[in-house]
Structure 1
Amino acid sequence: MSSVLDVQLFISAFVTLFVIMDPPGTVPIFLALTSSMTRQQRARAARQAILVAFGVIVGFALFGQSVLNYLHVSLPALQGAGGLLLLLVAMELLTGKLDNNEALEGTQGNVALVPLGTPLLAGPGAIVATMVFVQQATEPPDWVAISLGVVLVHICLYLSMRFANAIHRVLKDSGTLLVSRIAGLLLAAIAVQLLADAVLAFARG
């Protein structure tokens, strides 16, 4: 199995992106943005948002290296920047800044594309994390692990939005809030680890 899939890298990529993109945490935001839509329109919005987010993530995964080379940015610098970005997102999750959706409720246009697809789903944290994993991939099993992790996270995101009403009824407001806080704590730990790895890499260099 290890010759086909790097299990450790898959778990790392899946957990990291799951925590960053936070499928349970998208439920209240998705419900707020699609409150005036019918059931069919809400289902279509979920599909569109996932396609946009997946396209953005894959685009940066494929061409991120070329951008880094053009800008002469090293992997440790990317890891450090990614750690700082993830730490900011974690602080917002822990302090509840992402829970205020008043500004989103008045959004005009196709909310499935902006702001739901990007930057709420495919935001800076998810983009940088994906690029860091791609930078570390050297063999086919690594690419399979990263690809599978990205796809599964997007499937989880789609399911959480597709069945947002049912999930919200089960978790309630307090349950969704608890999940967001736990995700913020885990994300903060991942961010600190990225920063530590970046500092060690600079020290060795």
Structure 2
Amino acid sequence: MSEVFDGRLFSEVFITLFVIMDPPGIVPIFLGLTAAMTGKQRNRAARQAILVSFGVIVSFAIFGQQLLSYMHISMAALQASGGLLLLLIAMELLTGKSEEPAPSGNKGVNVAMVPLGTPLLAGPGAIVAIMVFVQSSDKSTSDWVSIALAAVAVHVSLWLAMRFSGVIRRVLRDSGTILFTRIAGLLLAAIAVQLVADAVRAFIETS
């Protein structure tokens, strides 16, 4: 089983994406964006948002290497920039600035795609994170399977959070949601610092 699945890599990718994409934290934003929708429309919006987010993540996971090569960007540079970006997102989670949904700017836009699917779910943090994991892997079958399953698992968690958003909101209440978001921000900050530290070490070793 270990030849086709790496449990450690799976857990690393899952935890990182889970913290960044924050399924419990997306509940109040999802409810706010879909307040005028019926139950069926809200469920359809959840499915559409997940499909858009997953498509964006997979696209960058597959074509991220070609993009980096074309732009002559090193792995260490990607890790450093990704760490700094994730640190900014962590600060927003810790200070509560991420809790207000971004305005769509156009009432004709499908909120399930924009801003929910992207950039709220498949935002810069998640994109950089998945690219870093793909680039740092040895491209073996077990690594690809582990990363893919982790991405699927996170999106299933996101769909469940949005599908049962009303129940989760009643259970966690506002205080519980805020507490979970703050803890997620703390964990994400630690992940960001580790990414920057690894990038600095790589720069030193290659200099």
Alpha carbons of 1:62 and 1:9: their partners in 2 closer, same or farther (altered >3 Å)? same
Residue in 1 aligned with 2:30? 30
Which whole-Å CA distance do the structure 1 matches of 2:106 and 2:179 have between them?
A: 27
Q: Is the 8 A contact 1:27 1:160 kept in 2?
A: yes
Match of 1:144 in 2: 145
| Corresponding residue SS for 1:73 | coil
- The separation in 1 between residues aligned to 2:99 and 2:84, in whole angstroms, is 21
Task: Count how many residue pairs are aligned between Structure 1 and Structure 2.
Answer: 204
SS at match of 1:2: coil
Q: What is the TM-score normalised by the length of structure 1?
A: 0.97
Q: In 2, distance between residues paired with 1:146 and 1:69?
A: 21
Structure 1 gaps, min length 5: none
Question: For structure 2, which runs of at least 5 residues remain unmatched after alignment?
Answer: none
Counterpart position of 1:135:
135
Instruction: Give 1:100 deviation, angstroms.
Output: 2.5
RMSD of aligned Cα (Å)? 1.1
Cα deviation for residue 99 of structure 1 reads: 1.7
TM-superposed CA distance for 1:176, in Å, is 0.3
Report the equivalent of 1:90: 90
Deviations 1:102-151 (A, max 9, x none): x5387622100000000000000000000011112221111111001000
Aligned residues of 1:82 and 1:129 also touching (Cα < 8 A): yes
Q: Structure 1 vs Structure 2: percent identity of aligned residues? A: 67
Aligned-partner Cα distance in 1 for 2:137–2:79: 14
Is the contact between residue 4 and residue 144 of structure 1 (CA under 8 Å) also seen in structure 2? yes
Partner of 1:203: 204
CA 1:107–1:97 in structure 2 vs 1: closer, same or farther (change >3 Å)? farther
Q: In 1, distance between residues paired with 2:11 and 2:71?
A: 30
> Partners in 1 of 2:59 and 2:171 — Cα distance?
35
Task: Give the aligned residue type for 1:35.
Answer: A
1:174, distance to aligned residue in structure 2 (A): 0.4
What is residue 45 of structure 1 aligned with on the other side?
A: 45
Provide Cα deviations, 1:60-107, integer angstroms capped at 9, x if missing partner: 001010000000000000000000010000000000001224x53876
> Who is 2:63 aligned against?
63
Corresponding letter in the other structure for 2:103: L
Moved over 4 A (4+): none
Name the counterpart of 2:100. 100
8 Å contact from structure 2 (residues 104, 111) kept in 1: no
